[in-house]
Structure 1
Amino acid sequence: MLPSSNDAWPTDEDLRAAYARFAARIPGYVQPTAYTLARRGRDGLTVGHLNGPGGEHKLPAAVLALVCGYVNETGVFRLSRDQVAEAVELLAPAEAAIHWEHPNLWSWRRLLTAVEPGSSFLAYFVAPGRG
């Protein structure tokens, strides 16, 4: 089940359960070693929060993977503005966990607010052992 606008995930247990639900919707899903979302506009590439090796933000990776089609291979995935907005909406209940920062969600929102005509979005994933 995907979240509704009334959902909130205030505890670590809630966040882990949400991650498990998203990951289960992607057959063969492998947590990436690194990932990010970027916006390409006329002034170049604006990169959101970069999640490097050893990062602790697994839930946003599963949300972004579900929206863009990442499963377990290193690659770049083109997304529409609507897909990025969907990712933001799906991840938003995590903000209820106020004991965590949410750099992915916050940077994705910033990328959306500065969108201009002709902009496109790219999700970058590095799969384990396939960099």
Structure 2
Amino acid sequence: MLEQWRTIADLDAARQRFEAAIPGWQPPAAFGVARLVAGRPVFARVAVGDGFLPAVVLASVCGHASGSASYSLTPADLDRVIALLTPAVACTDLPHPNLHAWRGLRQQLSLGEDALAVFAADLSTPSENPHVTAMLEQAAVAR
């Protein structure tokens, strides 16, 4: 039987397990998954100040621990992120917008097309990474 996280306490325990497995883990201020369209990231969803379990699950696949950065995600990587986060849907007390957005983005990826995972440590610090900058711009518009 597959693991299921049925309660908010289960979600918190799963988050803590993922966090403990990443030395130096620092939750991001914002994160998102995108696909590149004409060289510019188009985000399925940008999470700002929430989604700490999806953030750490995504980070565990990318190898991210802290700071602002972007990572290429192969379709197999994105499938792994989705599979690792899927037990959360058993908890019906909360919506799961990141998981739903990432599933939708996965369906949009063309053969051979990679996705992009982006993390921002701080909402107010400019980044030299153009993907982080694009995400922060989208986050600012959404606020």
Q: Partner of 2:76: helix, strand, or coil? A: helix
Q: In 2 relative to 1, CA 70–43 (structure 1 residues): closer, same or farther, beyond 3 Å?
A: closer
Out of 13, 20, 39, the residue aligned to residue 17 of structure 1 is 13
Alignment equivalent of 1:87, drawn from 78, 81, 85: 81
CA contact (8 A) 2:8 2:93 kept: no
Structure 2: distance between partners of 1:71 and 1:45: 22
Which residue of 109, 115, 120 corresponds with 1:121?
Answer: 115
Q: TM-score, normalised by structure 1?
A: 0.87
Deviations 1:26-71, CA, capped at 9 Å, x for gaps: 100000000000112569643111111x32x110000000001111
- 2:36 aligns with 40
The aligned residue for residue 141 of structure 2 is none
Bigger proportion of residues as helix = 2
* Long gaps (5+) in structure 1: none
Query: CA RMSD of the aligned region, Å?
Result: 1.9
Gaps of at least 5 residues in structure 2 are 126-143
Q: 1:59 to 1:88 in 2, by over 3 A?
A: same
TM-score normalized by structure 2?
0.80
Over 3 Å counting, the alpha-carbon distance change for 1:75 and 1:11 in structure 2 is same
Deviations 1:62-107 (A, max 9, x none): 0000001111120111111100000000000000111111010001
State the distance in 2 between where 1:116 and 1:126 align. 27
In the alignment, structure 1 residue 75 sits paired with structure 2 residue 69: yes
Q: How many residues align?
A: 125
Identity of aligned residues (%): 35
Distance, in Å, in 2 between the alignment partners of 1:122 and 1:61 is: 13
Matched residue SS, 1:29: coil
Conservation of the 8 A alpha-carbon contact between 1:29 and 1:71? yes
CA–CA distance in 2 between the matches of 1:111 and 1:32?
21
The answer to whether the 8 Å contact 2:30/2:120 transfers is yes
Equivalent residue number for residue 50 of structure 1: 46
Indicate how the Cα distance of structure 1 residues 95 and 120 shifts in structure 2: closer, same or farther if over 3 A, else same.
same
